[in-house]
């Protein structure tokens, strides 16, 4: 058995993540899957929100706040969360018929795939968690196959579009 330490970014001062690999067995450990970004504990990344677009300067702080809130929530959820829509430019938002004042326009919202409604159910059952993460949810009855989470405050935790 080989135990190694791995620095995801050599310039980073973050503590190295260790992982264990079983030599010759062909099997990879859970830790190795995490290291590969394939495990359920994988964090939601900036690139998943921006999808190749540059973050407008005015929204850089929103983006960091959004990621922090979403990842705190995701840690409690404990399962993968797949971003289907993050930041939207005004053009893109118009094209897909998004709401005019959508929180997606200011890097304050993300949509997550949820065809089996597991994430929606978790949201509906964990209002206190949403509150502690600083997240508001479009009521899942309006989002049949996805979940919309946003950091821009609205009057109701589960709000109407
Ligand atoms: Zn949305």
Smallest CA-to-CA distance from 67 within 133, 4, 1 is with 133
CATH at residue 69: 3.30.1380.10
Which one-letter DSSP state was computed for residue 32?
H
Q: How far is the CA of 68 from the centre of ligand 1 (A)?
A: 17
- Residue 19 domain-assigned (yes or no): yes
Q: Does 115 share its domain with 149?
A: yes
- Pick the range with the lowest mean pLDDT from 24-38, 41-55, 117-131, 145-159: 24-38
Q: How confident is the model at residue 40 (pLDDT cuts 50, 70, 90)?
A: low
Q: Does 19 share its domain with 55?
A: no
SS3 92: helix
Q: Does 92 share its domain with 126?
A: yes
Q: Does 54 share its domain with 27?
A: no
What CA–CA distance (Å, rounded) separates 6 from 35? 9
Range of the domain at 144: 46-159
- Residue 41 domain-assigned (yes or no): no
Q: How far is the CA of 55 from the centre of ligand 1 (A)?
A: 17
pLDDT of residue 42: 79
The residue ranking higher by pLDDT, 42 or 39, is 42
Q: How far is the CA of 11 from the centre of ligand 1 (A)?
A: 35
pLDDT mean over 4-23: 50
Q: Does 26 share its domain with 94?
A: no
In the chain, DSSP assigns E strands to 2-6, 17-21, 83-85, 109-113, 136-138, 146-150, 158-159
Smallest CA-to-CA distance from 66 within 81, 158, 52 is with 81
The residue ranking higher by pLDDT, 34 or 6, is 34
First to last CA, the chain: 53
pLDDT mean over 87-111: 96
- Residue 40 domain-assigned (yes or no): no
Instruction: List pLDDT tens digits, range 112-159.
Output: 999 999 999 999 999 999 999 999 999 999 999 999 999 999 999 999
Q: Does 28 share its domain with 9?
A: yes
Q: Residue 137's beta-bridge partner residues?
A: 149, 158
Q: Does 14 share its domain with 84?
A: no
Q: How far is the CA of 35 from the centre of ligand 1 (A)?
A: 29
Q: How far is the CA of 41 from the centre of ligand 1 (A)?
A: 23
Q: Does 29 share its domain with 75?
A: no
Average pLDDT, rounded, for the chain: 86
Structural domain total, the chain: 2
Whether the pLDDT of residue 22 is over 70: the answer is no
Q: Does 28 share its domain with 53?
A: no
Q: Does 64 share its domain with 106?
A: yes
pLDDT mean over 37-59: 86
Smallest CA-to-CA distance from 110 within 81, 77, 87, 134 is with 87
Q: How far is the CA of 138 from the centre of ligand 1 (A)?
A: 8
Q: How far is the CA of 40 from the centre of ligand 1 (A)?
A: 22
Smallest CA-to-CA distance from 48 within 116, 1, 110 is with 110
pLDDT of residue 62: 98
Whether the pLDDT of residue 88 is over 80: the answer is yes
Q: How far is the CA of 99 from the centre of ligand 1 (A)?
A: 9
Burial tier of 52 (Cβ tally within 10 Å: 0-12, 13-18, 19+): exposed
């Amino acid at each position: 058995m080989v135990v190694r330490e791995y620095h995801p970014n050599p310039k980073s001062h973050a503590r190295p993540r260790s992982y264990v690999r079983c030599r010759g067995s062909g099997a990879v450990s859970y830790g190795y899957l995490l290291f590969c970004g394939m495990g359920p504990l994988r964090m939601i990344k900036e690139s998943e929100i921006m999808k190749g677009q540059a973050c407008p300067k005015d929204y850089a702080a929103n983006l960091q706040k959004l990621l922090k809130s979403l990842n705190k929530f995701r840690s409690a959820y404990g399962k993968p969360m797949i971003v289907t829509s993050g930041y939207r430019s005004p053009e893109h938002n118009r094209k897909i018929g998004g709401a005019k004042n959508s929180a997606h326009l200011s890097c304050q919202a993300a949509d997550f795939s949820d065809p089996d409604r597991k994430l929606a159910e978790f949201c509906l059952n964990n209002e206190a968690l949403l509150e502690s993460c600083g997240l508001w949810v479009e009521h899942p009855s309006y989002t049949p196959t996805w979940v919309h989470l946003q950091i821009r405050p609205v009057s109701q935790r589960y709000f109407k579009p």
